[in-house]
Structure 1
């Protein structure tokens, strides 16, 4: 019996705009048994041991159109054969054109044919009542129909008079005039009016003079000097709101070190908690002994703001600080600082000082002149300022969002520098001056106030430190200023990179001499009285001030006025910061610049402890946890087990190979 062969098509992938080529492969089937039916399909793969259901010879790769070529019983038509079967092909052939020339099919004349009158015939039967009826009929004149009926004869013709055709009147075009659009309702730009000064409390300030208490203290001081053979005497005193400074004239031959040795004896004689010895008083030949007053006087913010020294000063970033020992009002210009560091323990007056600075800025600037970024991880100090028009973004209470807010400020700083460079300008002052001359929108100053730095450093220390460092180094020319406050002035919070770029510092009462040295580079802040008593240090000198006080009621009246009259005008919404935070958290932890160092630390110390990583590298807990999870995915450490730390699974050599592959 002859071997029966069957064509098996293998689909081929053809290049575009090329003729399809069929690739056929002859698959030889095994010899069939004598009882095999001639039409029965034999599988080229299974042979006779096939299933009862026939398997189609389909190809599962290549062009999808040729997968089932094995089923075809008739020859596939070529594209040319398909085109010839189309009716449009027949009408365009030469044979059809010859038929038209012979007149078998009347040709359509290209010349217009005049319309002929049409007739209507009515047949009336005998058994019907004759009635005439007229029907308006729409008549369509087709010259091809007229040629067909031209030779037809009618037995009876009823002549109907042709109706007079009146020339049609030209159609009048209706011009649709556009309705005048209503003018948009433009709300007139509201001129910013500072909150009324009546919102702030004021009280008369008593002028300094002789005081019985101060005279008695002078006598006691001279008694101490006589009892301990100290060559000095009281030359006078200056009484301030909270302390009185006694001027000590030191005689020749007496060293100034001897007066500091009398500190504890001074406390015993004067019956006070603490004294501060200033030796010498800058710019004088006297030594100073500062003694707390028996009765402290309040310094209200309203007295400093409702003052010509503040109201008539053209400097936009001037803030009220307090009153010094001599009774003079002390103001500070943030633009000249250009950044500030505030530190103090609980109830020392640190937060009140921040509120005084913010209220001063609100009275001095409109939202077009100033934008604030307030970061309050404690969620209690700055929440009352939410939704005021001066905010660049809502008050930040989340430490993760705070890092993104600082990053946004860095990006804004870089954007401003690019703009200055393109306009050949140096700083924000030159830019705003040019805008005033040529017309345009002014660039606002941005003041960033961080109420508690320690909370941010616990979550994202490196990121926060990096952003603050960049801002304090460069942002002054861009009109961006940073005020940092903390109640833990330790070296792990106020790092050198932050401290070295902030020259203006305000120290309230702190817990120890070490904390005072962290802020001021010398002791003295631990002897302050609290409740607004502060040492204000700037490059030109150091002053002891009684800080201005503003209560919650005054803050509420000012912020409510701003919210009711202007409302929030944020530059960036909180949702955008949250989205950026999520994106940064979703980034691959293996791309972290510290990942390799942390991995070697884990393997060399045989520890998968999150706490040890955060302590060794000074990074946040979340950042260390992300890197440990990435190490788990790479097989460096084991997964977490409740009550146990991760186990290290590789050696240092294996770790090096893993890091080279990633």
Structure 2
């Protein structure tokens, strides 16, 4: 490289060291720059950006912080005098009217805290005021719970007081009343009172009490005499089948012997036991059940020599119906093993009462109706009667549970009211996107809820004998669609010689059959006794249950019906 170029690239180090270099200024306030100018060059500190080389602690001109930069506090702001100890109670107003004084507080955070506290305190005061008004209203209501002092009596008392006053006092009182009316009007405009258009009507109806049902069943109905037990054992010995009585149960009308047989006895011979045992037994009729569910024993069901009727009060008191739940349960009677037979109407669907006399069939239907009347209000349960015999259900015509007027079966529009209700409910449920009455009632208010309906048709054979095709079509539609919509049919078919149509029989979920030689509805109905003895087939069981229906006395029925009809709707 050329020597001339090398000389040009050389740097003047001595000249650069003499020049003062620019340095970064410290953000804090340092010593006054004027004093630094009087410092001689012999001092170890040559520039303001470098530390002293020797004994910088003893140096008079060492870098020390004289005053920090003022930074605004998030709580106290720039005002140094307002400390926590200096904040007084007067700085915190209690009402919204004093919020203007908050401008004296420099901190934004404290101002927001005070505002929030004032808002909460005002809400608490408002709640206390409303609670005081509510307690005052309750006190007035409890002082006069039956509203004996009506508004008319209050007005008449006020008018009498004004008549007794002189003319001047009356004018003064009139002016005071006007002033009070203005105050109340202003108060109503400030806080409008929300009044419901209709009052809830459910609790105004009181259900019949339990003591109206009368006394229960007498004790000792399930006691078995030793002579009867010995006679049953001898009857088995007479046909060469050794057996012993393991247990005996009775409901007061039918008793059941639980017999323990020898292990070598074949079950295939049980069907022929009745033929051989009946001549040796001291009973007119017997029904053999083999085997008893849950055991390996067989049962002999025989009528009690001195039957004891089953009052409805016993059925109601010993079942879950006494809990007064809103589950639409009904009770019919007792089973042979002294258990109460109760079932829910929503699960039963449509009910068929087949055979039996008019008195016995009406007794079964009456047990179902009274079960509903005891636990449900007229807004929750409705009933409709379609019968040619008006005197049979004459007692129900004045009940608030009635859904429309009852009509004769010969009328083509006998079920027109029920069918229109079916179509209306079907459309409403479709618009509400529900499929059953329970889901619909959960979505709507109290006044829009649908009541469960039962339609009693007595007698179903006469409906077809009259060739009432319109009513027969409506029956078919109700059987198909009525159960989820809360409409249930109770069909009475009294004439067993005329069989019920198979397609209609398949749509009936619950069947109650009296004595029937042909066993056209329930298998085994030919083995029961005539009278108050039925077989019940429910949709949740494969085997029918033998039940003896209860009885409701005329006195108990009169007390219950009189209590219900006393309410005006």
Per the normalisation by structure 1, the TM-score is 0.52
Query: Does 2:490 match 1:489?
Result: no
- Give the corresponding residue for 1:382: 393
Partner residue of 2:301 out of 290, 295, 316: 290
Q: Is the 8 A contact 2:346 2:483 kept in 1?
A: yes
Q: Secondary structure at the match of 2:230?
A: helix
- Once the two structures are superposed, the pairs formed by residues 194-233 of structure 1 within 5 Å of their partners are 194-206=207-219, 210-212=223-225, 215-230=226-241, 232-233=243-244
- Give the corresponding residue for 2:528: 527
- Give the corresponding residue for 1:405: 414
* 231 and 186 in structure 1: CA distance in 2 versus 1, 3 angstrom threshold: closer
Count of paired positions = 371
Q: Secondary structure at the match of 2:421?
A: helix
- Give the corresponding residue for 2:513: 507
- Give the corresponding residue for 1:429: 438
Cα deviation for residue 290 of structure 1 reads: 0.4
How far apart, CA to CA, are the structure 2 residues paired with 1:389 and 1:245? 42
* 355 and 281 in structure 1: CA distance in 2 versus 1, 3 angstrom threshold: same
How far apart, CA to CA, are the structure 2 residues paired with 1:298 and 1:423? 48
How far apart, CA to CA, are the structure 1 residues paired with 2:566 and 2:359? 33
| CA-to-aligned-CA distance 1:155-212 (integer Å, 9 cap, x gap) | xxxxxxxxxxxxxxxxxxxxxxxxxxxxxx9999571112333332222542676521
How far apart, CA to CA, are the structure 1 residues paired with 2:228 and 2:319? 36
Q: Is the 8 A contact 1:351 1:451 kept in 2?
A: no
Runs of 4+ in structure 1 deviating by more than 6 angstroms, as ranges, are: 185-188
* 278 and 556 in structure 1: CA distance in 2 versus 1, 3 angstrom threshold: same
- Give the corresponding residue for 2:77: none
How far apart, CA to CA, are the structure 1 residues paired with 2:437 and 2:252? 38
- Give the corresponding residue for 2:204: 191
Cα deviation for residue 525 of structure 1 reads: 4.1
| CA-to-aligned-CA distance 1:399-440 (integer Å, 9 cap, x gap) | 123x5232432332222121111111121101111114xx64
- Give the corresponding residue for 2:10: none
How far apart, CA to CA, are the structure 1 residues paired with 2:456 and 2:376? 16
Q: Is the 8 A contact 2:513 2:535 kept in 1?
A: yes
* 554 and 210 in structure 1: CA distance in 2 versus 1, 3 angstrom threshold: closer
Q: Is the 8 A contact 1:384 1:555 kept in 2?
A: no
* 248 and 313 in structure 1: CA distance in 2 versus 1, 3 angstrom threshold: same
Aligned Cα root-mean-square deviation (Å): 2.7
Q: Secondary structure at the match of 1:392?
A: coil
Q: Which has the higher helix share?
A: 2
Partner residue of 1:477 out of 477, 484, 490: 484
Per the normalisation by structure 2, the TM-score is 0.60
How far apart, CA to CA, are the structure 2 residues paired with 1:394 and 1:552? 24
- Give the corresponding residue for 2:536: 536
- Give the corresponding residue for 2:249: 238
* 349 and 447 in structure 1: CA distance in 2 versus 1, 3 angstrom threshold: same
Q: Is the 8 A contact 2:221 2:252 kept in 1?
A: no
- Give the corresponding residue for 1:581: none
How far apart, CA to CA, are the structure 2 residues paired with 1:304 and 1:464? 36
| CA-to-aligned-CA distance 1:124-166 (integer Å, 9 cap, x gap) | xxxxxxxxxxxxxxxxxxxxxxxxxxxxxxxxxxxxxxxxxxx
How far apart, CA to CA, are the structure 1 residues paired with 2:392 and 2:359? 14
How far apart, CA to CA, are the structure 2 residues paired with 1:327 and 1:525? 22
* 488 and 433 in structure 1: CA distance in 2 versus 1, 3 angstrom threshold: same
Q: Is the 8 A contact 1:377 1:456 kept in 2?
A: no
How far apart, CA to CA, are the structure 2 residues paired with 1:374 and 1:380? 12
